[in-house]
Amino acid sequence: MNAVRIAWRVTRLNFRAQLEYRTEFLMMIAVGAIWQVSVLVFATVLLTRFTGMGGWNSSDVLLIPATRMLAHGLFVLVLGRIHALGRFIQEGVIDTYLVRPMPVHRQVQLQFFPTNAIGDLTVAAGLMVGAIARSDLDWTAGRITYLVAAVFGGMLLEAALFTVVACASLRFPAADYWGRWLEELLGTFGSYPLNVLPRAVGGLLTFGLPLAFVAYFPAAVLTGHGHDTGVPYWLAAASPLIGLLAYLAARLLWKWSLNHYTGVNG
Amino acid sequence: MTVLPPAWRVGRVTPLGELHTPPRMTAALLRLAVQIVLVASLWHGLYAAAGTTAGLDRDQAVSYAVLAVLASRLREIDQYAARDTVIQHMHFGTIVYWYLRPMPPQRYYALRALGEQLYGLAWSLAGYLVCLAAGVVQPPASAAVAGVFALSMLFGQWVLYYVMLVIDQLCFWTLRNGAALLILIFAQNLLSGVYAPLWFFPDWFITLSSFLPFQATLSVPLSLYVGRIPLSDAAFQLSVQAGWIVVLALFTRFLWRRAARRVISQGG
């Protein structure tokens, strides 16, 4: 309970610190919104020009970027500082974390308040409302519960992927480079049905880099395309659980990697 | 021991830095290869059930998208890791050293960028030849198209250099400007056609981008290459690119002069 209170107080202080530069604060909100809009623009351009993408109608497809963007916005808000770990290592900040009486992971997350998450979440929530309003699906309690679970599962899966990159950064600081690519890949290929891609490439984005589990599979299950995803239905339906398991596994890897971390002072 | 001219020594900093970090080079190679496969697969998949769209057929769209990936390699060096970006120098106060060296900062900046772009060009050219041999990218329709594309690409990179320079020069006026930089980089990617060819966007968007310098960096040369802009329009497009080079050169020169007044050495 004490840990939660401290985390909350630090977050409030971080938020006030962000308010120190008002223009920067507002522009950071715009950055989050623009990043999401750029992903949305790409998806919309493809949807408009190539209707009936992968056998999905446009209302169903819209649920994919909506789920992914909401999951991404929550990731940025709650666990996104792990993305900046490479910089913390390079600047030696991580070494000071090791001697403080608080878990390193929590200190990383409390490093600063992610103002851009406000913009991220605003656009994503707007898109989700639009996607649900346009959808012909019957939004039963079961479907809504699954959608909520899918968003949190997507958030955890994204966090798991960035945590793995962070673990690599603890050993090779240049691995930070992979984080930016990962973000780009998630934005570019995570927002439409992956069955438009050749089977091998779709397989790569399912089992190599599991971005299909972030939004594509949950949306397929919700919209009745769950049997056409190229993987067993139960696997596609288990996406939220896979996100949770992946995150737990990533945190174990984080613990192991941190125990083997060697700073410049040895 | 051979003494290298200062310009050469500055220009080769980036290539040498990259050559001394093999993991980064391996990552760059893998990233480029995977990105090309993914992008080519995506556009092939999208065109599987569609004919010519927005004036581009399948081969043109795939060539455009793959060339955009290759072109993005030209200035995709991780400068941040080398701690030699203007924003980092402003943050740590080390920008003053740019003004204490026997080489003017604008010349240092230009040479570093030139080294970077030549290093990136080697990657892009190698990737282009592999893609051409593999049939992923269509060859230019004629020698004239190839020539015009090469000239337009050179102009495009020149414009891109100035656009990135303006973004960096902004750091002299704003203490915290990470957000502004990110917004400008998004604008550059979106309005130059990196995310998707501009031809797929609505008409108002294409009209808007024609008044901005961003499309001159990538969209124009690639459209010339794939034949979406005919050779008969090339002279006009090249002159627009040249116009942007002149305007941005004068503007950045003015900004360098103003920026120098803001740098204080050793307490004034």
Per-residue confidence band for B52, with pLDDT thresholds at 50, 70 and 90: confident
Which residues lie closer than 8 Å to B162 by C-beta, 6 or more apart? Answer: B213, B244, B245, B248, B249, B251, B252
Distances (CA, A) of B141 to B119, B144, B219: 27, 8, 18
Contact with chain B for residue A35, Cβ under 8 A: yes
Whether A266 maps to a domain, the answer reads no
**Is ipTM > 0.90 here?**
no
Minimal Cβ distance to B53: which of A35, A49, A189:
A49
**Residue A88: closest CA among A75, A101, A97:** A97
- For the stretch A202-219, pLDDT in tens is 888 899 889 999 999 999
Q: What percent of chain A has pLDDT over 70?
A: 98
pLDDT at B155: 95
The residue of chain A with its CA nearest to that of B200 is A45
Instruction: Report A:47-66 residues touching B (Cβ under 8 A).
Output: 48-50, 52-54
Whether A264 maps to a domain, the answer reads no
The residue of chain A with its CA nearest to that of B182 is A31
- For the stretch A109-139, pLDDT in tens is 999 999 888 888 988 898 899 889 888 888 9
Whether A208 maps to a domain, the answer reads yes
Q: What is the mean pLDDT of residues A236-247?
A: 96
pLDDT at B189: 78
Mean confidence (pLDDT) of chain B = 85
What span, in angstroms and rounded, lies between the C-alpha atoms of B164 and A144?
Answer: 45
B7 to chain A, closest Cα gap in Å = 28
Which residues lie closer than 8 Å to B227 by C-beta, 6 or more apart? Answer: B60, B141, B145
What span, in angstroms and rounded, lies between the C-alpha atoms of B71 and B157?
Answer: 9
pLDDT at A178: 81
Whether A47 maps to a domain, the answer reads yes
* Residue written as token pair 């020539």: B147
Would you give the DSSP letter of residue B54? T
Whether A136 maps to a domain, the answer reads yes
Minimal Cβ distance to A24: which of B23, B176, B196:
B176
Number of domains in chain A: 1
* Token code pair at residue B199: 């031809």
Residue span of the structural domain in which A17 resides? 2-259
Q: Is the confidence at residue B78, as pLDDT, over 70?
A: no
pLDDT at B127: 93
Minimal Cβ distance to B31: which of A31, A38, A181:
A181
What span, in angstroms and rounded, lies between the C-alpha atoms of A120 and A225?
Answer: 28
pLDDT at B19: 81
**In this structure, are residues A54 and A193 in contact, taking their beta carbons and an 8 Å threshold?**
yes
- Give Dmax over CA atoms of chain A in angstroms: 60
Q: Is the confidence at residue A175, as pLDDT, over 60?
A: yes
pLDDT at B32: 86
What span, in angstroms and rounded, lies between the C-alpha atoms of B268 and B264?
Answer: 5
Whether A139 maps to a domain, the answer reads yes
Q: Is the confidence at residue A36, as pLDDT, over 80?
A: no
pLDDT at A73: 92
pLDDT at B44: 86
- For the stretch B181-222, pLDDT in tens is 777 777 777 888 777 888 888 888 888 888 888 889 889 999
pTM for the whole thing? 0.81
Q: B195 vs A41: CB contact, 8 Å cut-off?
A: yes
Whether A96 maps to a domain, the answer reads yes
Mean confidence (pLDDT) of chain A = 87
Q: B186 vs A42: CB contact, 8 Å cut-off?
A: no
Residues of A in contact with B53 (CB under 8 A): 49-50
Residues of A in contact with B19 (CB under 8 A): none
Q: Is the confidence at residue A46, as pLDDT, over 90?
A: no
Q: What percent of chain A has pLDDT over 90?
A: 41
What span, in angstroms and rounded, lies between the C-alpha atoms of B38 and A233?
Answer: 25
Q: Is the confidence at residue A42, as pLDDT, over 60?
A: yes
Distances (CA, A) of A38 to A30, A64, A141: 12, 15, 32
Which residue of A25, A31, A87 is the best one to mutate when testing the B interface, meaning the one whose CB has the most B CBs within 10 A?
A: A31
